[in-house]
Amino acid sequence: MNNIKLYMWATPNSRRISILFEELGLNFDVHPVNIRAKEQFAAEITDLNPFGKVPIVVWQECEEQRLLFESGAILIHFAEAGKQFLPAESKERSEILSWLMVALTGLGPHSASAHYWSDLAVEKSPQALDYHVNFTARVYRLLDDRLADNEYLAGDYSIADMAAYPWISVSEWTTLDIEDYPNLLRWYKHVGLRPAVQRGMSLPTGITLD
Ligand SMILES: N[C@@H](CCC(=O)N[C@@H](CS)C(=O)NCC(=O)O)C(=O)O
């Protein structure tokens, strides 16, 4: 596996992947795709991912060009290839996959929608905002309860934690107060001490979301 290119922006879904790549010690090049400038709809990107979304990873495997999009697919593939953060068939693997899906399908999409209705939408909808903030609060409560007697979401530190962490880092987008979720806050501070997490969260270099 070489010549790995990560198409990303300074966003939570993208940073799931930069965190994993840093944890695995991979050499990879970052290709910034400014989603606020609609660069995700350029042919160079939609030729790779017809959904017009990042993250996207392109790499070379022997003579073959390989491609993956969707952060969950990328996390699973590279964790398995690197034989870290997602063990083979076991009770722990089942737990990791379940909590990974909570992050992929509950935490991420509803946090993003809460952000949209609280901040980005030109015409506001209090009902839509309430719906997504309440749903996100339900996920925060779930994670907080889980972390009350677990150090990480599923056994050892895993791709489930990597999928959740960047979304918790933007908790202010959801209007929720992380201080109301003490176990989640403890986990967030603890995971944030990892050097690979800090490096992954700093990519693309010099870019912050406005
Ligand atoms: N389910 C996708 C979601 C990816 C996604 O929504 N990415 C955002 C950036 S975090 C994006 O590309 N937004 C631009 C758009 O939707 O046009 C994943 O997990 O990779």
Structure confidence at residue 210 as a pLDDT band (50, 70, 90): low
pLDDT at 61: 93
CA of 151 to the centre of ligand 1 (A): 29
Whether 200 and 18 have beta carbons less than 8 Å apart is answered as yes
CA of 111 to the centre of ligand 1 (A): 12
User: Starting at the edge strand that comes first in sequence, how are the strands of the sheet with 28-32 ordered?
Assistant: 28-32, 2-8, 56-61, 64-69
57 lines ligand 1 (CB under 6 A): no
- Among 31, 102, 114, smallest CA distance to 72 is for 102
Question: Tell me: the pLDDT tens digits for 42-63?
Answer: 999 999 999 999 999 999 999 8
Question: Tell me: the pLDDT tens digits for 106-163?
Answer: 999 999 999 999 999 999 999 999 999 999 999 999 999 999 999 999 999 999 999 9
Which residues 6+ apart lie within 8 Å of 141 measured at CB? 181
- Distance (Å, whole) CA 107 – CA 150: 18
* Cα 144 to the center of its chain, rounded Å: 18
Domains of the chain: 2-84 (3.40.30.10), 91-196 (1.20.1050.10)
pLDDT mean across residues, the chain: 97
pLDDT at 2: 82
CA of 68 to the centre of ligand 1 (A): 13
CA of 188 to the centre of ligand 1 (A): 22
Position 32 pLDDT exceeds 80: yes
pLDDT at 209: 79
Q: How many CB atoms lie within 10 A of CB 53?
A: 21
CA of 55 to the centre of ligand 1 (A): 7
70 lines ligand 1 (CB under 6 A): yes
166 lines ligand 1 (CB under 6 A): no
Whether 15 and 21 have beta carbons less than 8 Å apart is answered as no
For residue 31, which phi and psi values (nearest 5 degrees)? -110, 105
| Averaged pLDDT for residues 29-48 | 97
Cα-Cα-Cα-Cα dihedral of 60, 62, 64, 66, to 10°? -40
Ligand 1 closest atom vs CA 13: 10
H/E element, 97: helix 91-101
Residue nearest to atom 12 of ligand 1 (CA): 53
33 lines ligand 1 (CB under 6 A): no
CA of 90 to the centre of ligand 1 (A): 31
